[in-house]
Amino acid sequence: EPEVTQTPSHQVTQMGQEVILRCVPISNHLYFYWYRQILGQKVEFLVSFYNNEISEKSEIFDDQFSVERPDGSNFTLKIRSTKLEDSAMYFCASRARQNTEAFFGQGTRLTVV
Amino acid sequence: AQKITQTQPGMFVQEKEAVTLDCTYDTSDQSYGLFWYKQPSSGEMIFLIYQGSYDEQNATEGRYSLNFQKARKSANLVISASQLGDSAMYFCAFNTGGFKTIFGAGTRLFVKA
């Protein structure tokens, strides 16, 4: 069964460092997303990506964040200068069409120390 | 403004009994999708069930059914014959055909043996 895969599963980084979180969405999907979940809290939308550009982003997704789809398969989230409060689980998701279910990856747990 | 609300932070149910998890939403859009996801302690997000706003029948997937009351803007999840493995966090989510899916705060379900 096709699935969304994320790497790494856990990343520890020092405050101020750049991190890149990687995702391989399901191959025939057209809509791609990043969400984050601070431990024990709700799932927060960060950004959506469609047709090779950002289609929508939240207020959380400031200039420190960027997304790329560098080739036909990978979808990355970059945090330029990490802060302690960026520590969270980051989920990548993809969907085939609007108003269908989004399939989530296993998540990357980012710990900023 | 679009909003999704889960008013039950925690619920207990006896094994083999049915349980209803509440979800209400607010939108002026006519076309939208409602979703439920399960998040076990391992952290992954597992899609459970989807209901489209134009679907006349309530969605069902095995032991999961969605009690969709459009006029009341509610989309409650019913789990029949609860099992110990159903203990998890459950999120109601909502997409209006725009790009992002909004998640509720979640309900933590505890199934007692």
Q: Does A61 touch chain B (CB under 8 A)?
A: no
Model confidence over B74-110: pLDDT tens digits?
999 999 999 999 999 999 998 876 677 889 999 999 9
- Chain A / chain B CB contacts < 8 angstroms: 60
Lookup: tokens for A13: 């980084």
Chain A residues whose beta carbon lies within 8 Å of the beta carbon of residue B47 = 101-104
Q: Are B12 and B106 contacting, i.e. CB atoms less than 8 angstroms apart? A: no
> Distance from B59 to chain A by nearest Cα, in Å?
13
Q: Tell me, what's the pLDDT at B97?
A: 67
Q: Which residues in B52-89 are b (16+ Cβ under 10 Å) and which e? A: ebeeeeebeeeebbbbbeeeebbbbbbbeebeeebbbb
- Do the bridges between strand A19-24 and strand B88-95 make them parallel or antiparallel, or are there none, so unpaired? unpaired
Model confidence over A35-85: pLDDT tens digits?
999 987 889 999 999 989 999 999 999 999 999 998 878 999 999 999 999
Q: Are B110 and B10 contacting, i.e. CB atoms less than 8 angstroms apart? A: yes
- Do the bridges between strand A19-24 and strand A10-13 make them parallel or antiparallel, or are there none, so unpaired? unpaired
Torsion of CA B59, B61, B63, B67, to 10 degrees: -10
Name the band, by pLDDT with cuts 50, 70 and 90, for residue B31: confident
Q: Are B31 and B97 contacting, i.e. CB atoms less than 8 angstroms apart? A: yes
User: Cα–Cα distance between B46 and A94 in angstroms, integer?
Assistant: 13
**Rounded mean pLDDT of B25-32?**
88
For a pLDDT cut of 70, what percent of chain A falls above it? 100
User: Cα–Cα distance between B70 and B27 in angstroms, integer?
Assistant: 11
Chain center to CA of A81 = 16
Q: Does A89 touch chain B (CB under 8 A)?
A: yes
Interface contact flag, B91 A104, Cβ < 8 Å: no
Interface contact flag, A106 B50, Cβ < 8 Å: no
For the cut 90, the answer to whether the pLDDT of residue A97 exceeds it is no
Q: In the predicted model, what is the mean pLDDT of chain A?
A: 93
Interface contact flag, B44 A89, Cβ < 8 Å: no
User: Cα–Cα distance between A32 and A113 in angstroms, integer?
Assistant: 29
Helix (H, G, I), strand (E, B) or coil at B86: helix
